[in-house]
Structures are given as structure tokens and as C-alpha cells.
Structure 1
Amino acid sequence: MFENLTERLARTMRDMRGRGRLTEDNIKDALREVRMALLEADVSLPVVREFIDQVKEKAVGQEVMKSLTPGQAFIKAVNDQLIEIMGAANEELHLNTAPPAVVMMAGLQGSGKTTTVAKLSRWLKERKKKSVLVVSCDIYRPAAIHQLETLAGEVGAEFFPSRTDQDPVDIATAALDHARKQFIDVVIVDTAGRLHIDDQMMGEIERLHGALEPVETLFVVDSMTGQDAANTAKAFNDALPLTGVVLTKTDGDARGGAALSIRQITGKPIKFLGVGEKNDALEAFHPERVASRILGMGDVLSLVEQAERSIDQEEAAKLSKKLQKGKGFDLEDFRSQLQQMQKMGGVAALMDKLPGMGDLPQGAKNQVNDKEFRRMEAIINSMTARERQRPEIIKGSRKRRIAAGSGTEVQEVNRLLKQFTQMQKMMKKFKKGGMAKMMRTMKGRMPGGMTPF
């Protein structure tokens, strides 16, 4: 997300660094570039106008600190304004009510509403330690009911059954009654979606809202629709008292216009981002962290949180003990580290959180991808247990056999062994930790020998 905007803004920021001081004249070109970058990112025109006016006021006004260089002052003004238009701070779900707390999900068909219900269920169970019941009130699509039942099983949420011949309000109230009897903390209600907003849809969802009195009414919207996402959210908000927005499919959105427009247009906070297809691909929305990503400064805090959640602590402890005993780091351990990286969402999910990514040439970014990781793992899988434990025995004939078994070339086997040797040297420099400490201290290594931090 924001790839195009980040690249464009990075160029503008570099141009500003050499300025002696900031005046209206010398930031005119920079502001023009920022305006074009925002418009190309499909940010709403009124939002762009206000953004530019505010940045101009902050950059050349009294808010510029003496301790900053002019370039830094301009970057700070852009950063502050990005945070401001996106909502200043993360707004959590308000679940401090007598259980069960009801969360109602609304949105158009195809926005990813049902999968978001499952992702949110997992998020609540793992991060907030809540018991969750999910129910589908989409009586128009039997497949939606079945889909939610399947997803609920995958994330460990309780599923309340419903049928297409029932009234949505009856389904929801029965689910709520069941949750009370079973002392369930949160009920998430998946409502019917339509291809467009219509009176019947709004009437039904208003009836549901009145019957359930949810503590949270979240609007789920596809970020790839850009400005339309913000306009659709506003139309829903005019009819329904929304409490927040969930932006889905942000991993496929290179522009990011929806994230920068929704708060300003609707007045409602973005609470979550859907960042992939897996049921754990949901992130709480932190405006300050997103602003940092947009400006190419990374998001190390989210990266460390992600590492702590994803890394197998038992595996990390085993590796730590192994290194402390003086036993070498072998290809079995290397494969385990690759798998840990993929558990964190793969390279694509990590790239925009790494500082300095905006300054990398596109060609270098393209070389680093999840296919490379999977290819490396396939090569290691083609080795015998003895070869993984003693990589030094892998010579000519063994390399040819491994390459044939993994569907790769001998050169790729050589490249992997070279990368492994580099990793082995790093691991010798410290005796504790696995991937987590490696990321913090050695800054990690990507395929191709590139050091991203």
C-alpha cells in the first residue's frame, strides 16, 4: 500500500533537504509535487486542498522549530498533516460494556465483509482474549452462511446457525440470546451486502441496528476503489450511525487514497486494515505508523509486534540453547528461519515496514519476493538430513542432485549456500535469540544478499 505515493514523496523530500530556509516561494514546487502525488493516489480533491493549505501553513509559519533543518521542517509538516487527516491516534474497539458486546459489520457485496468477520474474531481471541460468537444475517446468499461457518471453524469462533427462510432480525436476536446464556464476550453480526446502496438494504440494516443496539458498527470497504470507498462510507454513515471503518485489500492497493480520504470525508476513524488473504491478516490502524510508512521511514514498532506474535518462541529457545552449547547453525536452522519469516506474512508484508524502502530502486525491490524464499526452502528440502547438518559436504554431484530435485539450477544452489554462510557468520556473533534478535541486531538479510534496514 502507498508504494506510488511513497516513491513520489521520497523524491520531493530529497529535493527539499538542500534548502537554506523555507519560504512560500521555495516550497511552491514541493507542494505542487505533493499535490500531484496525492491526486495520483486517488485522494479526494477537497482533502488534497485542505492538506496542502495546512502543510503550507505549518511549514512556513511559527511551528517550524529552530532545531530542524528546512528540509526536516517540511517533512515534519507533511508527516504531522498525514497523521491529522487519518485520525491522530489509533481508536480501539469500545467493548467495555456488559457482555455480550455486539459488533455489527456492514458493507457492499464483494468488499470482504465475511472474511473480515473471521479475521476480527481471531484478532479478538488472540489479542484481547475474548470469546467470540459469529452469526450471518445474509439470507440472500446461502453460500455466505456456509462460508462464515467454515471460517469460524478455522479461527476457533463459535458459529450460530441461520437459514435463508428466516428474518435477519430474528436470527440476530436469537444469536444474542444464545450468547448471553453461554456467557460469550463478543457477538459479531455479518449483515447482507448488495452490489450497490439501495432502500431495501438500508431499511434492513437499520432494523437490525435498532434491535441489536451494537457497541460498534463497522463499515467494511474495499480500499482499491479509492475515492469511491470514501464516498460509499459517507452514504452509509448518513443512514447508519457508524463507529468506524475497516479497509480491506490494502495489500493490493498501491495508491492508498481511501486511507487518506475516509476520516476527513466521513468523520469516522479507520480502525483496521485488511492486509492479506490469510485469517490473521488484520492490523489495527495507527495513523502515526502509516504516515511513517508513507514517508519511507518504515514502521519498526509494528514489525517488532508482528515478530513477537509470529515467531515460534519454542523454536527460538531451542536455537538459542543450541548456539550456547557451541553447536553450529546448520541448514535445518536456516530453513526454520525462512519459515518464521514467511509466518510473518512474507517479504511483501515486511517491505513497507522497513525504514529506507522508499529509497530502493524498483529493480532491487522486485528481486526480493516470497517466491525466492519458497525456492530457497525447496532447495533445502531436496537435501538429505546429513547434508543439512553438514553443508560443507555439498559438492559438485550433490549440488546437481539437489538442483534437479528442487527444480532449480546449480547456480541457485550455490547462491543459497553462500547466503547460508553469511547467515552462519552472523549467528556466531551472538549466542541468544533467533529471528527476533537477529532482526533487531543484525537487521536481517533478504535473498540476494541485500540488507534492508
Structure 2
Amino acid sequence: MAFEGLTSRLQKAFRDLSGKGHVSKSDLRKTMRQIRLALLDADVNFDVVRKFVRQVQDKAVGANVLEGLNPSQQIVKIVDEELTKTMGTKAVPLNKAKTIPTVIMMVGLQGAGKTTTAGKLALRLKTAHKAHPLMIAADVYRPAAVDQLVQVGQQIKVPVFQMGTHHDPVDIVKAGLAQAHRDHNNYVIIDTAGRLQIDTKLMNELKRIKALAKPNEILLTVDAMTGQNAVKTAKGFNDALDITGVALTKLDGDTRGGAALSIRAVTHKPIKFVGEGEKLQDLDIFHPDRMASRILGMGDILTLIDKAKKGYDKKKAEKLTKKIQENTFDFNDFLAQLNKIQHMGPLKNIMKLIPGMANNPIMKKANMNPKQMDHIKAIVYSMTKQERAHPEILTPSRKRRIARGSGRPIQIVNRVIKQFNSMKKLMNQMSNGNFGGLGKMNKMMKRMGGKNPMGGMMGNNPMSQMSKFGMRGMAKKAKQAKKKRRRLQKMLRRR
């Protein structure tokens, strides 16, 4: 995932600083050098790095941080503020037209994920904003580009206007806009052509489409994995088209994350969306403050809550709570919860939103293979309806049949059933307020995972750590962190 290397190196720099009883100017210079090298290694633009380090150092010296209490914590606070400022301070919404339709023009190079991002955006507008978008297939050059957009539209049930590949893209856009007016679509998303690199022919075509459509939003799709090239691409498109925002894709890939830290500073245009997954639901609003928190390894509780809220059904939640309290939680309920977790995204990425889990040694040792969750689901699907509803009837012969049906060893089937029963008992105790202290809960978790307390249904999995504090504990941690930030801000203002 993006920022892993940067987070690790920044945390090391802060650990070295916090281990000292007194922080001197020499210590500060050493820390600034470590931060500079960490940012450069993450492929952040050189000018951005130089400005960033200078501002952090000037703030630390100007606020007399070195002479105050907890200077290392105050420096972390300054770095957090500067990271947020570099990426844009706050989330920027889509521009919206005064009268429908709002026209969004998607631009970018080939391979950046422009067509997929157009579909993701259409789905987001449809579900989160109850909109009725129309997508226009204006890429007539890339093989199967039109077919791809049509297939995406069918998946998300959003209409796609297309005229094949034998018409001028400007004419296609003109006809598509006319249909949007007739059908009263409140959003139009134009999927334009891309190239392997910026050229005059591409830009002239995009300028013609812009002149015709007068888009409210020109959204540049940039591949985060291209590093410095992403910044050059953004600058090239911005100089030619005056883009209004950026959608950063593949942020969950093996990327150093420098593009996210550089684009805003170089183009002065906001990153509005980030894609962190291949599914059409995997498009999130970009929050600079949350991303800064993640880069510093402090987690991102608000994004985790947002993900948990997606698809939340109050009636179903109340029904589930009642079943847990009555100790009637069964494998059907368990399967539903597994599906919800998978819907939130890769488990490894979810764990890193929890404070303290990014670059945690436990995380590095943990086996977070997403296929393991599918294996568990295969075991549950191999049960009969009666067995899922009444786990107590699972006899050895039934377990052997389930093992054959799921293609998993009998030992794994036994372990999943045993852990399910332990988890069921634990949830019942928690829901009825019978915690018996953290020690008792930890013992329960150890029984669930064998000798390793981190063990669980998906092997060596840190998900069980969440049970130590639950959502209440997470909220408490977030509240404590907020109070701590306020105290630091007051101290800095007094100085």
C-alpha cells in the first residue's frame, strides 16, 4: 500500500527524537535530514520537499518548540499540519452547475484508469447523491474503450451514450449532451480519449470538447504508481486545459505515494478523489488531514467509520444485536458480517486505518491473504441451511462432508467451527456487559487463536486486536488524541 515506506521512515525519525530528554538544534537538523530523505525516497517533488522541510524547521524554531515541554510531540504536530497544508488542507467537493446537467470531463493518459474512474464516479453520484448520471463514450481511438464503458454502465445500471468509433468525438459529445437534456440527467460524465503521452493532437481535441461542453469540472485521472511522471502529467494537462481537480488512482498499489504529496503543490489544483481498489465502489473523497494522519502512522478513524457506514441498515443492526444478546447468532449472521467486511475493502488496508497498526510489527508478521476469508466462506456455504442456522448439530460426519464440499482439510473446518463458537460466546458476554476485564477478554482471544493471541479465523490475523477496545474504545482514543492536539496548539500559541 502507498506510504508504507514513508510512514516507516518518518516514524523512525520521530522515535529517535522522542528518545532524547532534551532536543537540541543539532537533533532537529538531523531529524529534518531524515524527513527530507524519507520524502525524496517516496518520490515527492524535490522543490516540494525543500519547501516542506524549510517550513517545518522555521515553525519549530520560531515557536521555541525546542525549549518547551514534549518538543518531539510538537514537531510531529507541525509535520502533521504541514503535510495537510501541502495536500490542500481540506476536502474539495465537485463543482456543481446552477442548472442541470453538471458536466464532468474526464481526462488523462492511457492506462491511468480513466474509464474505470468515470464508472466509479457515476456509481458514487448515483448512490451517495441519488443522482441520475449519463456517461458519454468519447474515446474512439483506444480498442474496446467504448465497449468497456458500456459494460461498466451495465454493471452499475447507469446509461451510456455512444455512437461507435467512426464519428468525431466532438459530435458524439454534442449528441450526448442533447440526450442528457431530453432525459433530464443531472450529471454528465464525458470519458475522453487518452494517449501514451501528451501530444498536440490530443490537447487540441480536448480543447474542442471543452469549448463545446463547457464542463463544470475537468477531472484529471492520474496513476499514483507513476511517481514524478504523475506530477509532470498533471502540470501538462493543467497548462493546456486548466483542470479543476485530480482523481488519483491505484493508491493501494505498490507505490511510494509521492504524487499525492506533490500534485497540489505543483499545480495548485486539489486532489478530489482517490481510488484504492479495483471494485467500482472503491472511490473515496480525498481528505488531506486524514491522509496526513495515515502517512504519520496515526491511523484514520473517520475513514474507517465512513467505510463501516456504507450499506448500514439500522433494522438489520438491531436484529443482529438482539440475536447476539439472546445467544442465537448463527453461521448465516456470520456470513453476512464477512461479506460486509469484504465490502469495506482489503483487510490489510482496513487494519491500517486503526491508530497504531500502520507498520506495527504484528501487522508485518500477520498473514493477511484475502483468499483465507474466501476459504472460510466456502466452508460456510458447504453447510446445509439447517447446519448454518443450528451449528450445534455439526457432528463429525457432517464436518467431514463440509470439508469435502469446501475443499479444505477437516482440521481447518474444525478450527473455524471452534473459533466461531468462541467468538459467539465472547460477543454475547460483551453485549450483556459481562466483560470481566481485559484480562478475561485476552484469555478468550487466546483460546480463539490457540497459542498465539493474534491467531484467528484467518490465520495469524490482527483483527482480534480490535476486540480489546471496540468502537467505544476507538472513539475514546480519537477523543483523547483531539484533546492532546488542542493542548499542543494552546502551548504553541502561548509561545
> TM-score normalised to the size of structure 2?
0.84
Alignment of 1:281-430 (within 5 A): 281-324=282-325, 326-361=326-361, 364=364, 366-394=366-394, 396-430=396-430
- The alpha-carbon deviation at position 366 of structure 1 amounts to 4.1
Amino acid at match of 1:380: V
The question of 1:237 aligning with 2:238 is answered yes
SS in structure 2 at match of 1:91? coil
Pair 1:400–1:179, CA change in 2 (3 A): same
Equivalent residue, structure 1, for 2:55: 54
Q: Deviations over 1:171-211 (max 9, x none)?
A: 11221122122221111111111111111001110111111
The question of 1:82 aligning with 2:45 is answered no
Equivalent residue, structure 2, for 1:258: 259
Residue 247 of structure 2 contacts residue 272 of structure 2 at CA under 8 Å; is this kept in 1?
yes
Residue 5 of structure 2 contacts residue 42 of structure 2 at CA under 8 Å; is this kept in 1?
yes
Q: CA RMSD in A?
A: 2.5
Equivalent residue, structure 2, for 1:439: none
SS in structure 2 at match of 1:368? coil
Q: Deviations over 1:205-251 (max 9, x none)?
A: 01111111111001111110011101111011111110011111111
Equivalent residue, structure 2, for 1:438: none
SS in structure 2 at match of 1:358? coil
The CA distance in 1 between the partners of 2:315 and 2:368, in whole Å, is 28
SS in structure 2 at match of 1:43? coil
The CA distance in 2 between the partners of 1:14 and 1:133, in whole Å, is 51
SS in structure 2 at match of 1:33? helix
Equivalent residue, structure 1, for 2:162: 161
Moved over 6 A (4+): 442-446
Q: Deviations over 1:30-78 (max 9, x none)?
A: 2222222211211111111111111212223217499861221121111
Amino acid at match of 1:154: Q
Amino acid at match of 2:257: G
The CA distance in 2 between the partners of 1:210 and 1:174, in whole Å, is 15
- The alpha-carbon deviation at position 150 of structure 1 amounts to 1.3
Moved more, 9-18 or 72-81: 9-18
Gaps of 5+ in 2: 433-441, 446-453, 467-495
SS in structure 2 at match of 1:252? coil
> TM-score normalised to the size of structure 1?
0.91
Gaps of 5+ in 1: 433-441
SS in structure 2 at match of 1:27? helix
Amino acid at match of 1:247: L
Equivalent residue, structure 2, for 1:27: 28
Q: Deviations over 1:134-174 (max 9, x none)?
A: 10111213511111111112122221122222111111122
- The alpha-carbon deviation at position 79 of structure 1 amounts to 0.8
Residue 327 of structure 2 contacts residue 425 of structure 2 at CA under 8 Å; is this kept in 1?
no
The CA distance in 1 between the partners of 2:33 and 2:81, in whole Å, is 18
SS in structure 2 at match of 1:304? helix
Q: Deviations over 1:1-47 (max 9, x none)?
A: 21111122222222222333443211222222222221121111111
SS in structure 1 at match of 2:238? helix
- The alpha-carbon deviation at position 263 of structure 1 amounts to 0.6
| Identical-pair percentage | 47
SS in structure 2 at match of 1:104? strand
Equivalent residue, structure 2, for 1:107: 108
- Matched positions, count: 444
Moved more, 398-407 or 103-112: 398-407
Pair 1:364–1:330, CA change in 2 (3 A): farther
Equivalent residue, structure 2, for 1:436: none
The CA distance in 1 between the partners of 2:149 and 2:42, in whole Å, is 33
The CA distance in 2 between the partners of 1:134 and 1:323, in whole Å, is 44
Alignment of 1:198-277 (within 5 A): 198-277=199-278
Residue 135 of structure 1 contacts residue 162 of structure 1 at CA under 8 Å; is this kept in 2?
no
Alignment of 1:117-156 (within 5 A): 117-141=118-142, 143-156=144-157
SS in structure 2 at match of 1:134? strand
